[in-house]
């Protein structure tokens, strides 16, 4: 510790990793592991297949080393969910799935799209290599699993977690504690709570104790090596607490409001703990998307829609045959949806349920393991092929590739009377996929729809090209992994 830091009473808190820093660390580690695997695969390829590890050999295949690590990280895109990344069981499954998907994709490219000109491994005129990518997949699987094991054992330990003192032991503070406990391992250590309500002193709330009030805040922060204060006070704050927070900030402690911490932690907004003017402040004052973003987003929509409709045109005869053989007509059907600004439009979908799924004429929630779904329907949902006709709506401008999923008018009318801010999801075009879909799935109940809305509002608040591309990549990862619902 420097003399200046000691004089100010600051305590070093070590290397405390935030959510975004952990994600960047995972990506960097995966890139390094796959780059090492690519280099060793190149060496094995040269030595075992009689090319010789010469400069000409390396120069001719420089793209091999450069592109394969990037492709590998793209296949692992859904493993950058920090909750999944902290579980070796989920990591093992996801890495093996990525390796299998990579093998299938490369086999399709090799045998279908690009025919090799020779089968002689010593002939460098072959269009595509065979054994090099195989060596890479085997090595990068082993190296990635080794790196991820180190991450789960080392970087999720307490020494790398931020130490948080929660200011406010009311409903907002309890909600944040509940969210933290849902994570395994926890994203940060809550050392305790601060509240000026004398009746709460000494109480234990969700495993954390109320340690004192504003008068004790600085001393507690110093003693517990606190790195962050999360302010979960709703309503007016007394002068003593406000001054204590200012003093803590002067000591180098970072201060963040509970809704912001909730967003950073979960990637969604806490709809039950927002002020009445939150929509105006978030979507009017703070969010003014640029015209450039809107133009590029529309170009992406058109390009994606053309590609999606082409794929569907090629697959539709086989889809129609499968649906007809199992359950008869109709193969496709139309449904009303609400778009931007509450405008009603119709989507075309491949039928995945029995014909009398809504024989009573009432809109029902779609469950993840819905008994009304046919066998072919389950396959179509897993691959998302049942949604491909909606690329036509994207081409027409009624939908976008990325946005909140469109909901049926009957359910919107029910939900906006129960869930606060529900109507705000209609501020943007609905999407084929969205932040809620890659993080949550379907909202199969009022409670599920409320949680899904939190993700949708987070997307609307933070939308941009980077987030859109990230969602598209994660959606492709779910499709490859048959993780549709």
Enter the pTM of the model.
Answer: 0.78
Alpha carbon dihedral 240, 242, 245, 246, in 10-degree steps, equals -110
Q: Look at residue 118 in the predicted model and tell me its pLDDT.
A: 45
Instruction: Characterize the bridge pairing of strands 208-212 and 204-205.
Output: antiparallel
Q: Look at residue 196 in the predicted model and tell me its pLDDT.
A: 87
| Exposed / middle / buried, residue 470 (Cβ in 10 Å: 0-12, 13-18, 19+) | middle
Q: Look at residue 141 in the predicted model and tell me its pLDDT.
A: 95
Name all domains of the chain by residue range, CATH numbers in brackets: 19-155 (no CATH), 161-266 (3.40.50.720), 291-480 (no CATH)
Q: Look at residue 354 in the predicted model and tell me its pLDDT.
A: 77
Tell me the CA distances in angstroms from 314 to 80, 157, 305, 475, one per residue in order: 33, 50, 14, 21
- Write the secondary structure of the chain as one string of H (helix), E (strand) and C (coil): CCHHHHHCCCCCCCCCCCHHHHHHHHHHHHHHHHHHHHHHHHHHHHHHCCCCCCHHHHHHCHHHHHHHHHHHHHHCHHHHCHHHHCCHHHHHHHHHHHHHHHHHHHHHHHHHHCCCCCCCCCCCCCCCCCHHHHHHHHHHHHHHHHHHHHHHHHHCCHHHCCEEEEECCCHHHHHHHHHHHCCCCCCCEEEEEECCCHHHCCCEECCEEEEECHHHHHHHHHHCCCCEEEECCCCCCCHHHHHHHHHHHHCCCEEEEHHHHHHHHHCCCCHHHCCCCHHHHHHHHCCCCCHHHHHHHHHHHHHHHHHHHHHHHHHHHHHHHHHHHHHCCCCEEEEEEECHHHCEEEEEEECCECCCCCCCCCCCCCCCCCCCECHHHHHHHHHCHHHHHHHHHHHHCCCEEECCCCECHHHHHHHCCCCCCHHHHHHCCCEEECHHHHHCCCCCCHHHHHHHHHHHHHHHHHCCHHHHHHHHHHHHHHHHCCCCC
Q: Look at residue 134 in the predicted model and tell me its pLDDT.
A: 85
Task: Per-residue pLDDT tens, the chain, 485 aa: give them.
Answer: 333 333 344 444 456 777 778 889 999 999 999 999 988 888 887 777 665 656 566 666 666 677 888 889 988 888 888 878 888 888 998 899 889 888 888 877 777 655 544 444 444 444 556 777 888 899 999 999 999 999 988 887 777 888 899 998 888 888 888 888 777 777 788 889 998 888 888 888 878 888 888 888 999 989 988 888 999 887 788 888 889 999 888 888 889 888 888 888 778 888 877 776 666 666 665 456 678 888 999 999 999 999 999 999 998 899 889 888 888 888 888 889 999 988 999 998 888 887 665 555 555 556 556 667 788 888 888 888 888 999 999 999 999 999 999 988 888 888 888 888 888 888 889 999 999 988 876 655 677 788 888 899 999 888 889 999 999 988 887 777 655 54
């Amino acid at each position: 510790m420097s003399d200046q830091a000691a004089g100010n009473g600051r305590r070093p808190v070590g290397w405390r990793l935030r959510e975004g820093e952990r994600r960047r660390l995972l990506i960097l580690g995966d890139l390094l592991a796959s780059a090492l695997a690519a280099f060793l695969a190149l060496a094995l390829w040269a030595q075992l297949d009689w090319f010789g590890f010469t400069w000409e050999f390396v120069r001719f295949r420089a793209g091999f080393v450069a592109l394969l690590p990037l492709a590998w990280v793209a296949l692992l895109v859904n493993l950058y969910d920090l909750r999944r990344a902290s579980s070796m069981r989920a990591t093992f499954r996801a890495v093996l799935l990525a390796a299998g998907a990579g093998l299938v994709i490369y086999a399709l490219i090799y045998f279908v799209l690009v025919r090799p000109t020779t089968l002689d491994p010593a002939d460098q005129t072959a269009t595509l290599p065979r054994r090099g990518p195989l060596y890479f997949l085997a090595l990068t699987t082993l190296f990635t699993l080794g790196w991820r094991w180190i991450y789960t054992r080392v970087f999720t330990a307490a020494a790398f977690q931020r130490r948080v003192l929660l200011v406010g032991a009311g409903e907002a503070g309890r909600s944040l504690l509940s969210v933290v406990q849902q994570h395994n391992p926890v994203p940060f250590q809550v050392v305790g709570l601060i509240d000026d309500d004398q009746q709460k002193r000494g109480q234990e709330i969700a495993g954390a104790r109320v340690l004192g009030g504003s008068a004790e805040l600085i001393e507690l922060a110093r003693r517990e090596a606190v790195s962050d204060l999360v302010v979960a006070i709703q309503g007016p704050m007394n002068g003593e607490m406000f001054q204590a927070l200012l003093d803590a900030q002067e000591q180098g402690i970072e201060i963040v409001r509970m809704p912001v911490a909730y967003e950073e932690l979960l990637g969604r907004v806490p709809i039950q703990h927002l002020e009445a003017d939150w929509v105006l402040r978030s979507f009017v004052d703070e969010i003014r998307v640029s015209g450039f973003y809107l133009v590029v987003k529309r170009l992406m929509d058109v390009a994606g829609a053309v590609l999606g409709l082409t794929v569907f045109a090629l697959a539709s005869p086989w889809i129609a045959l499968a649906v007809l053989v199992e359950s008869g007509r109709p193969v496709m059907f139309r449904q009303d949806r609400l778009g931007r600004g509450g405008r009603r439009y119709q989507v075309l979908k491949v039928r995945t349920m029995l014909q009398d799924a809504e024989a009573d004429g009432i809109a029902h929630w779609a469950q993840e393991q819905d008994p009304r779904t046919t066998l072919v329907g389950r396959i179509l949902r897993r691959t998302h092929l049942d949604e491909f006709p909606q690329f036509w709506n994207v081409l027409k401008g009624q939908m976008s590739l990325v946005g909140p999923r469109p909901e049926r008018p009957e359910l919107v009318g029910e939900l906006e009377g129960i869930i606060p801010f529900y109507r705000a999801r209609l501020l943007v075009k609905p999407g084929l996929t969205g932040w809620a879909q890659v993080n949550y799935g379907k909202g199969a109940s009022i409670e599920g729809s409320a949680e899904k809305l939190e993700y949708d509002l987070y997307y609307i608040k933070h939308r941009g090209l980077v987030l859109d591309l990230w969602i598209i990549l994660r959606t492709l990862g779910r499709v490859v992994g048959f993780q549709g619902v």
